[in-house]
Amino acid sequence: MTAEIICVGTELLLGDIVNTNAQFLSRELAELGISVLHQHVVGDNVPRLQALVAQAKARSGLLVFSGGLGPTADDLTKETVAAAFDDPLRFDEAQWRKIIAFFARMGRTPTENNRKQAMVPTRGHAVENDHGTAPGAWFEDGQGHCAVLLPGVPREMKAMWAEQVRPLLERRQNCTIRSRTLHVLGGESSIASKAAPLFEGENPTAAIYCKTGESEIRVTARAADAAAAEALCEERLAKFRAVLGDAAYDTDVPGLAWTVVRALRERGLHAATAESCTGGLIAQRLTEAPGASEVFGYGFVTYAEAAKQTLLGVPEELLKRYTVYSGPVAVAMARGALAASGAELAVAVTGIAGPGGALPGKPVGTVYLAGADARTGQAYLYRLALSAYREREVVRARAALWALDVLRRMALGLGQPGARCAAADAAPDTWDL
């Protein structure tokens, strides 16, 4: 089966918003094994919409719409599709009561205009909206073509898709589909060089999505039932983990901070942070994960040299001898954070995020990262060479990610510095302390 995605909305044509709905729907359809031939964006213009629907319907078996379900006279998507599918709309009392109830919860009453939102297909059916006013609609033309209409609000659209449309399409495809996401430190090329064959094959499929300094590998399997699909996913995930080693840090988590917080909680450990160029980013990311308060009590943003001395006890002599951008200062910051917080583990970062501040031999992007472990007295030092990334924001984000990973490695007792996907980024400094 092939599909086309049609997003209706003047705000998209004006560039007021970015079309994340098209990406979401494309990815979902790909996972269902349905090829998307076209994505379209049109305004609330009936002749143009009519022409587009006729063309798309001639090419593809499934049309997926988002937007155009509002209560105003301009919103004619449902009427236009109903005509193209020869499936007249009827007023549905149950939907109307639901709309009235939704408004009541918001302390409002619907207007006469909202009545058109309670119109549903006769041959097809409504798609329930438990998250907003406009129900969606499912149309069939009796000749194998169908269309599904969803609201444009991403939160409503995604929920209705997951709860109703995806299960319906799975039944039509006569299979159950499951996806899992493996989180891996490092970029696409380093992962591809190790795991290229694992991205081949039709079932399960594996796709890679790059983020700053890390990647997500999404594995999707189709099978007769959920257990079989999950087993197919798990088998492929195990192969990825075997090849990628401890660069594969977790499965199905929002991010590395969640992994770190869980690792610390499970072991009863506490972490402290001491930050210069990252300016609070490590602490902020760590505390994105709910429950961080159990494992994180103290964060030091020591942007000034004096702050490094007074809060972390970094000796002035060290700052003078090595400069503030140096391994010894990073280690002293991490050890100072342990002493000032009573935590078992600490990470510290000092470096040059740019655009200014470069020193001879230390270009923008030079970042020193240290981990310290009060249980063993050991410290770990990395010099990150992030000059290639140029932008201040990216240098900071990569340094913070590495810092969280150093925490993870200390908490889990993994190699430090270990074999890792993005190893080219880092080199331990060799001086004696």
Q: How far apart are CA 286 and CA 395, in angstroms?
A: 18
Residue span binding a second copy (CB under 8 A) among the ranges 27-35, 67-75, 196-204, 220-228: 27-35
Of residues 391-430, those binding a second copy (CB under 8 A): 392-393
Binding status of residue 22 toward a second copy by CB under 8 A? yes
CA 232 to centroid of chain Cα atoms: 23
- Residue 114: CB atoms within 10 A of its CB come to 19
Candidates 84, 147, 292, 332; binder of a second copy (CB under 8 A) is: 292
What is the sign, positive or negative, of the torsion defined by CA atoms of 272, 277, 280, 284? negative
* Backbone φ, ψ for residue 290 (5° rounding): -60, 145
User: Which value, in Å, is the radius of gyration of the alpha carbons in the chain?
Assistant: 27
Q: How far apart are CA 375 and CA 216, in angstroms?
A: 33
Q: Residue 397 belongs to what H/E stretch?
A: helix 392-412
Binding status of residue 13 toward a second copy by CB under 8 A? yes
How far apart are CB 375 and a second copy at their closest, in Å? 19
Residue span binding a second copy (CB under 8 A) among the ranges 40-48, 63-71, 113-121, 314-322: 40-48
Residue span binding a second copy (CB under 8 A) among the ranges 34-42, 84-92, 178-186, 192-200: 34-42
Q: How far apart are CA 343 and CA 277, in angstroms?
A: 22
Candidates 278, 326, 350, 366; binder of a second copy (CB under 8 A) is: 278
Instruction: Please identify, using beta-carbon distances, which residue of 58 and 419 lies nearer to a second copy.
Output: 58
**Binding flags for a second copy, 189-218, as an x/- string (CB under 8 A):** ------------------x-x---------
Residue span binding a second copy (CB under 8 A) among the ranges 63-71, 123-131, 140-148, 286-294: 286-294
**Which of 116, 139, 124, 132 has its CA nearest to residue 63?**
139
Of residues 112-141, those binding a second copy (CB under 8 A): none
Binding status of residue 280 toward a second copy by CB under 8 A? yes
Of residues 309-368, those binding a second copy (CB under 8 A): 310-311, 340-341, 354-356
**204 cis-preceded (ω within 30 degrees of 0):** yes
How far apart are CB 90 and a second copy at their closest, in Å? 31
Q: Residue 368 belongs to what H/E stretch?
A: strand 366-373
- Beta bridge partner(s), residue 346: 272, 372
Long-range contacts of 378-381 (CB under 8 A, 24+ apart): 379/331, 379/334, 379/335, 379/433, 380/406, 380/409, 380/410, 380/416, 380/417, 380/428, 381/327, 381/330, 381/331, 381/428, 381/429
Q: How far apart are CA 42 and CA 10, in angstroms?
A: 7
How far apart are CB 121 and a second copy at their closest, in Å? 26
Candidates 34, 36, 89, 256; binder of a second copy (CB under 8 A) is: 36
Tell the residue number behind the tokens 């209560």, with chain if given: 71
Candidates 102, 300, 380, 382; binder of a second copy (CB under 8 A) is: 300
How far apart are CB 149 and a second copy at their closest, in Å? 19
Binding status of residue 25 toward a second copy by CB under 8 A? yes
Candidates 279, 315, 363, 417; binder of a second copy (CB under 8 A) is: 279
- Buried b vs exposed e over 76-88: b needs ≥16 C-beta within 10 Å? bbbbbbbebbebe
Instruction: Please identify, using beta-carbon distances, which residue of 118 and 263 lies nearer to a second copy.
Output: 263
How far apart are CB 274 and a second copy at their closest, in Å? 10
Enumerate residues 6+ apart whose C-beta is below 8 A from 52. 6, 40, 42
Enumerate residues 6+ apart whose C-beta is below 8 A from 410. 345, 371, 373, 380, 416
Binding status of residue 37 toward a second copy by CB under 8 A? yes
Instruction: Please identify, using beta-carbon distances, which residue of 189 and 293 lies nearer to a second copy.
Output: 293
Binding status of residue 102 toward a second copy by CB under 8 A? no
Binding status of residue 20 toward a second copy by CB under 8 A? yes
Binding status of residue 16 toward a second copy by CB under 8 A? yes
Pairing state between β 248-251 and 176-185: antiparallel
Task: Please name the amino acid found at residue 15.
Answer: G
Instruction: Please identify, using beta-carbon distances, which residue of 96 and 303 lies nearer to a second copy.
Output: 303
Q: Residue 164 belongs to what H/E stretch?
A: none
The residue ranges that bind a second copy (CB under 8 A) are: 12-20, 22-30, 35-43, 45, 48, 52, 55, 207, 209, 273, 275, 278-284, 286-288, 290-293, 296-304, 306-307, 310-311, 340-341, 354-356, 392-393
